[in-house]
Amino acid sequence: MLEAIRLQEHGIRLFVCRLYNHDYLWFSSYEISKLSVAWPIIHNYALTYSLGDFSYGISTETAPQYEENLAHIPLYATPAVATQWSRTRITYNAVNARSLRTDDAPRGINSPDLGWRHYIDPVFAGGDALKSNLGFSCYLFTFDGSRPKGVTRLGKKGAAMRIHWEEIHNPLALFKDEPIRPTHPVNPLDISGNAEVYDPVRIPPHLILRTAAIRDDWFVFAGFHRVHVPKRVLDRCRG
């Protein structure tokens, strides 16, 4: 059985990335009634679309087309997580879905209908950005020899994100049959092996494993970094 794959031989580069939101970052990780909360985890589909500059001006589809879209984007990211963060709650006038008014609260009370959004506060890079605990950390595979861009936008309000990155040169993917705990969250749809222990977090459109111990799968080891190789990247290596 093949136990090692040199990703560079298949045109794949691997980068360590840290992202800093330079504005209040909001996306709806959790939403009930008039409350919406952004958790400090970014789904890797959202990251891949953003870093790959893929979006629709107009779409006639009635459901997401993730598989078709991701096949056209020449990179793939792991989910990102922030370990140090803070949030700000903003109150807004919630619109009544039936009347489209903000002042027709139940029981005839003459008061605006209020809602709340929890935004992740802006952060800025320090002296050595990649060694900082601020911002979101993730890993990025590119398939066309390109390097990550320096800025992008994320979230429902298109918050500006600054990106610092460093390449892991000559990445070697190794097959491991013992449990390995990656240094990043994992999308369960990216796992080829078995997740033995995991901490799931519900993030639309599916869920993310915030921490996991995975066996019978592929990993790249580089110093502190233990990078799980997604199934989608392995498929490219196998042609």
Q: What is the pTM of this model?
A: 0.89
The rounded distance, in Å, linking the Cα atoms of 138 and 116 is 29
Cβ(185)–Cβ(79) under 8 Å?
A: yes
The rounded distance, in Å, linking the Cα atoms of 238 and 137 is 28
Cβ(218)–Cβ(14) under 8 Å?
A: no
Q: Which residue has the higher pLDDT, 225 or 204?
A: 225
pLDDT at 222 over 90: yes
pLDDT at 84 over 80: yes
Cβ(194)–Cβ(215) under 8 Å?
A: yes
Q: What is the pLDDT of residue 10?
A: 95
pLDDT at 94 over 80: no
Tokens coding 169 = 């040169």
As to burial, measured by CB atoms within 10 angstroms (0-12 exposed, 13-18 middle, 19+ buried), residue 23 is middle
pLDDT band at 181 (very low <50, low <70, confident <90, very high): very high
